[in-house]
Amino acid sequence: MAARWLLLLGQCALVYSTTIADIQGTAFRSPLEGQTVKGVTGVVTAKSASVSGFFIQSAPVSDTRSSTGLFVFSESSSVLASVVVGDEISLTGKVEDFRSSSDGTFLEATELESPTSITVLSKGNTVAPLVLGAARSPPTGEFSALDVGPDGFLSVPNNVSLVDVANPTLQPAAFALDFWASLEGMLVTVPKPTSIGFENDFGEFWVRGAWTANNINSRGGLTLAPGTDGKPDGGPETVIIGQPLDGTTNPTMSVGKTLSDITGVVLYQFGFFYVLPLTAPTVLSTPDPTIPATTLTSVNDGCTITIGDYNVDNMAPTSATLPQAAGDIATHLRSPDIMFMQEIQDNSGPTDDGTVDASQTLSALSSSIKSQGGVTYSFTEVLPINDQDGGEPGGNIRPAYLFNSKTVSLVSGIPVGGPNDAVEAVTGSDGQLTLNFNPGRIDPTNSAWGSSRKPIVAAWETTSGARFFTINLHNAAKVSGGSSLQGDPRPPLNGAVAQRTAQIKVIAAFVSGLLAKDPGASVIVGGDFNEFTQTRTVFAPFEGLLTEVDVAADVDPVERYTYVFDNLQEQLDHVFVSSAVAGRTVEVEHVHVNSWAPDVNTRTSDHDPSVARLRVC
Ligand SMILES: *[C@@H]1O[C@H](CO)[C@@H](O)[C@H](O)[C@H]1NC(C)=O
């Protein structure tokens, strides 16, 4: 009997001594998941009705894999009212690894639910925040040990494993997800934060703190570029700052603002490990609002051409951003000889009335460029079939060209292609390489283009008669089917990656066919690829066929970006050239009219334009 009592007492002692570190464990999921634990003690570090709960923290433990912070979930106002920050409490609750029902790709977050028996043991305690960047810094290399594959977190295939199923033991010094999971629920300070993007619709924004970071660009943001291990570096050493817990409002953000220190608690929500600040930070400095224009001006020497590339984000004739885009082209891009435009909507914009012609949109843009000191542009397009190319319903977005007929002209005497006419490279009666349609669409009925834009090919001549070919494209968007950088599927799901891969294959086949007829042809392929070249599997069909101008011009990899998304400045827009062009002088500049905008709401578009100066003879 005595032994039995001892055993029972022993079990009671175990139950009553459950610590926060026991609950958090050393892996992503709690080893006590689903269990009711009693006598959990900790000091309340933060509470807010906005997150439906409060955070408690115990004394540090030697095992840095185990967090000593914990989120206690409760929507009960009387529960929330029963504790104040600084109270050391004891409580009972149920351990849960909670995943939001809003998105199955989010990680589970360890929390204590249904808190009862809350007893205040003492009041007025303080918890010193863990200052990041000192003893512990976010790792700079990879997000997860599960991001296997040749392209790191961008590897295809992705979704090879799920964090919450594999539940790896945390390696906080090596992997960012593990690092933040080891701090889940804890009070931390992000010292000397620098904003690396714009705030989102909820006033949340990404920062890096005063700790080692890779691939910092000249504006202060982090560029998606190769890391020290040669694999794509997704900026794991960054963190998203949520809404302040005290009800204050975060200031508006742009890339490169520096901020006062941020102290807050770590909570996984909406696909990311957040630091929820106790109060809003203040802005200490703001980068120079002057955005330099390109230095790559048109020279019109019969061999050199300038091309601009700009996704103008759903532009209709009446778009408020149309004069802004026109101003960008006139002043910041200095009127390139040819503009590769994407997301030109039809004359009725998003009204879904069967209109497919965009001549009014393009002439409005051209007039506005002229009135703002730019050149007089002509334009050309291939009309799409109504509602077949994706994008904003009714908008019929398409790629189109503006061109300065004083410096370049379309090879004449060739009909413009219809929506289902496949453009082909053919030898003309003069023996020169030309097209059967000018402009025309590449293999438009190929299933690779389903609900997506068909690229348009054009044949051109300079004033000296030098011939060259351009392809203007806008590949399928990543918008749906993706998962966050800090989500459950590893490597993260890359929405529509299979379609973009198929599209690149079709484009490569067209270029190969053209170059088979004339290996010395000058071919320029540009537009919104909706993909990073670091996802090498997607761009594999271009290998040995086309060279990216950034590579040919040896642009610093951290300055190659045209887009700000989450924690990264990244390049979705690219220009590639055939070997004849790559072998001559190649120049390119990305003009950061939008990535460097002082305010997200004053941007023309979500993409930056680029200008390349190339030799076609
Ligand atoms: C990702 O993988 C999981 C587990 O194999 C699977 O259930 C899920 O459907 C996959 N998601 C996608 C979008 O393929």
d(C-alpha 312, C-alpha 342), whole Å: 6
What is the mean predicted confidence (pLDDT) over 251-258?
98
Q: What is the pLDDT of residues 288-324, one digit of tens each?
A: 999 999 999 999 999 999 999 999 999 999 999 999 9
Q: What is the pLDDT of residues 75-127, one digit of tens each?
A: 999 999 999 999 999 999 999 999 998 899 999 999 999 999 999 999 999 99
- Report which DSSP code applies to 417: P
- Cβ-contact 41, 145 below 8 angstroms: no
pLDDT in the model for residue 16? 55
Q: What is the pLDDT of residues 22-40, one digit of tens each?
A: 999 999 999 999 999 999 9
Ligand 1 in contact with 498 (CB < 6 A)? no
Among 29, 55, 175, 25, CA closest to 110: 29
What is the mean predicted confidence (pLDDT) over 170-175?
98
What is the mean predicted confidence (pLDDT) over 364-373?
98
Q: For residue 562, what are the contacts with CB-CB under 8 A and spacing of at least 6?
A: 570, 571, 572, 573, 590, 595, 607, 608, 609, 610
Task: Report the half-sphere exposure of 373 (CA within 13 A, side-chain side).
Answer: 8
Q: Encoding tokens for residue 227?
A: 């890391």
pTM (whole model) above 0.85: yes
From residue 298, alpha-carbon distances to 138, 450, 464, 578 in Å are 46, 37, 15, 21
Which atom from ligand 1 is nearest to the alpha carbon of 481?
13
**Distance from Cα 488 to the centre of ligand 1, integer Å:** 10
Ligand 1 in contact with 487 (CB < 6 A)? no
From residue 258, alpha-carbon distances to 277, 284, 286, 601 in Å are 16, 5, 7, 20
- Cβ-contact 437, 413 below 8 angstroms: no
pLDDT in the model for residue 8? 45
- Report which DSSP code applies to 476: P
- Cβ-contact 175, 263 below 8 angstroms: no
**pLDDT of 583 over the 50 cut:** yes
pLDDT in the model for residue 187? 98
**Distance from Cα 423 to the centre of ligand 1, integer Å:** 38
**Distance from Cα 162 to the centre of ligand 1, integer Å:** 9
Indicate the burial class of 33 (C-beta count within 10 angstroms; 0-12, 13-18, 19 or more): middle
- Report which DSSP code applies to 449: G
Ligand 1 in contact with 482 (CB < 6 A)? no
Number of Cβ atoms within 10 Å of the Cβ of 447: 9
d(C-alpha 530, C-alpha 72), whole Å: 40
Average pLDDT score, the chain: 96
Q: What is the pLDDT of residues 178-193, one digit of tens each?
A: 999 999 999 999 999 9
d(C-alpha 617, C-alpha 614), whole Å: 9
Is 304-615 in CATH node 3.60.10.10? yes
**pLDDT of 396 over the 60 cut:** yes
Using the structure block, give the residue that is written with the tokens 């578009």. 605
User: What are the backbone dihedrals phi and psi of residue 29, each rounded to the nearest 5 degrees, phi first?
Assistant: -95, 155
**pLDDT of 6 over the 90 cut:** no
Number of Cβ atoms within 10 Å of the Cβ of 75: 9
Which atom from ligand 1 is nearest to the alpha carbon of 483?
13
Residue nearest to atom 8 of ligand 1 (CA): 159
What is the mean predicted confidence (pLDDT) over 569-595?
98
What is the mean predicted confidence (pLDDT) over 412-439?
97
**pLDDT of 3 over the 90 cut:** no
pLDDT bucket at 480, cuts 50 / 70 / 90: confident
Beta strands 456-462 and 440-441, pairing class: antiparallel
474 - beta bridge partners?
Answer: 528
- Cβ-contact 356, 383 below 8 angstroms: yes
Q: Encoding tokens for residue 190?
A: 């992000």
pLDDT in the model for residue 87? 98
pLDDT in the model for residue 410? 98
Q: Where are the domains of the chain?
A: 2-122, 304-615
**pLDDT of 15 over the 60 cut:** no
Number of Cβ atoms within 10 Å of the Cβ of 6: 10
Q: Encoding tokens for residue 82?
A: 């029963």
- Counting DSSP H helices and E strands in the chain, the numbers are 11, 35
Torsion of CA 357, 359, 364, 369, to 10 degrees: 130
Using the structure block, give the residue that is written with the tokens 């696909």. 271
Residue nearest to atom 9 of ligand 1 (CA): 159
Residue nearest to atom 10 of ligand 1 (CA): 159
What is the mean predicted confidence (pLDDT) over 416-437?
97
Q: What is the pLDDT of residues 127-140, one digit of tens each?
A: 999 999 998 999 99
Torsion of CA 323, 327, 333, 337, to 10 degrees: 70
Name the CATH superfamily, with its identifier, for domain 2-122: Nucleic acid-binding proteins (2.40.50.140)
What is the mean predicted confidence (pLDDT) over 431-437?
97
Q: For residue 57, what are the contacts with CB-CB under 8 A and spacing of at least 6?
A: 20, 42, 43, 45, 68, 69, 70, 127, 185, 186, 187
Q: What is the pLDDT of residues 591-615, one digit of tens each?
A: 999 999 999 999 999 999 999 999 9
47-73 as b/e, with b when 16 or more CB fall inside 10 Å?
bbeebebbbbbbeeeeebbbbbbbbbb
What is the mean predicted confidence (pLDDT) over 483-504?
98
Q: Which amino acid is at 128?
A: A
Residue nearest to atom 13 of ligand 1 (CA): 481
Number of Cβ atoms within 10 Å of the Cβ of 112: 28
Q: Which of 105, 106, 146, 159 to mutate to test the pocket of ligand 1 (most atoms within 8 A of CB)?
A: 159
- Cβ-contact 261, 254 below 8 angstroms: no
Among 166, 181, 106, 97, CA closest to 136: 181
- Report which DSSP code applies to 206: E
**pLDDT of 534 over the 50 cut:** yes
Question: What is the rounded end-to-end Cα distance, in angstroms, of the chain?
Answer: 99
**pLDDT of 154 over the 80 cut:** yes
Ligand 1 in contact with 540 (CB < 6 A)? no
Peptide bond into 157 cis (omega under 30): yes
- Cβ-contact 138, 240 below 8 angstroms: no
Q: Sheet harboring 283-285: ordered strands across?
A: 130-131, 187-190, 262-269, 272-277, 239-241, 205-208, 194-195, 258-259, 283-285
**Distance from Cα 159 to the centre of ligand 1, integer Å:** 6
Task: Report the half-sphere exposure of 547 (CA within 13 A, side-chain side).
Answer: 20
